Amino acid sequence: MLIQVLGTGCSRCKTLYEAVKKAVQEAGVDAQVEKVEDIRQIMAFQLIMTPGLVINGEVKAAGRLPSVEEIKKLILVAKAA
């Protein structure tokens, strides 16, 4: 499973990255967590606002900070798919 946090390095992007790492640990899943700061890569996902959360190539949240619990649910749904 590949989880990407999209953002140019703002504090909200860093907060989301930490929340994703915590959610992955709590969910007990094997996932690669990647921070994407390159604007061209971010634009490829057609994101209007950052931070963005992408799981297995699918944008799951944009322009907001989902809670650790919400991130865990998104991860588990993606894992089951």
Catalytic residues: 10, 13
Q: State both tokens at 43.
A: 């634009």
**Please, are residues 49 and 63 in contact by the beta-carbon 8 Å criterion?**
yes
Q: What is the dihedral of CA 33, 75, 68, 35, to 10 degrees?
A: 20
